[in-house]
Amino acid sequence: MTDRGLDIISVPAMTHGRVLIRPARAGAARGVLAGFHGYGEGAAAQMDRLLAIPGSASWTLVSVQALNRFYDRRSQEVIACWMTQQDREDAISDNIAYVAAAMDSVPHDDARPVIFAGFSQGVAMAYRAACRGPHRAAGVIAVGGDVPPELLADSSLVFPPVLVVRGSRDEWYSAAKFEHDIAALTARGVALQSLVADAGHEWNEPVGQEAARFLDTCGSVRRT
């Protein structure tokens, strides 16, 4: 591949990522709930969302931070994003492998369900981890982000049950994108739940309550 006469190569490299883990309450573990934050956030932001879900104390919570870290210009806080359009396929592959390694580091009962939950840019990662990763998913919670097009284009993929959430005033995850995802997933025969919340581009209390109901459904299924 060339650009303006320059050769461009993609070079693999090892890097380290940050993962936050909150073990389930002793004797009450129902499964693993793994979360992925949005653009310009860190793992702590998604962990806060998972902690706020009613009943989440019964789940081992995992918040995976994106590998591409940078500083917020105003606060100088370390934030991150999952990927850009540059070298997209390589980034997708790297992220899937990274999440698989992160999940391998989390002690859990293999018979218990694993659910992936994403917000905004992290939604794509939740879908990819569930559909392309080695850990069979019992569900996906997708808040404020659309289904990656390469997953919809692959007719061989089997989606787990999905909860799709959009804020009624969300300008990033538009009504058109939401309706497209609903139609596409329904056409694939996915066990689908959806919610249009009274919200903007955010994960608010009603979203957490709906996520809790979804977890109750997925958490009742043991893996074999």
- Indicate whether this model's pTM tops 0.75: yes
How does pLDDT run across 59-75, given as a tens digit for each residue?
A: 999 999 999 999 999 99
What the chain holds in terms of domains, given with CATH numbers, is 12-218 (3.40.50.1820)
The low-confidence residues of the chain, meaning pLDDT below 70, are 1-3, 219-224
Residues 101, 103, 109, 115, Cα dihedral to 10°? -150
List the strands of the sheet with 139-143, edge to edge. 19-22, 59-64, 31-36, 114-119, 139-143, 162-167, 192-197
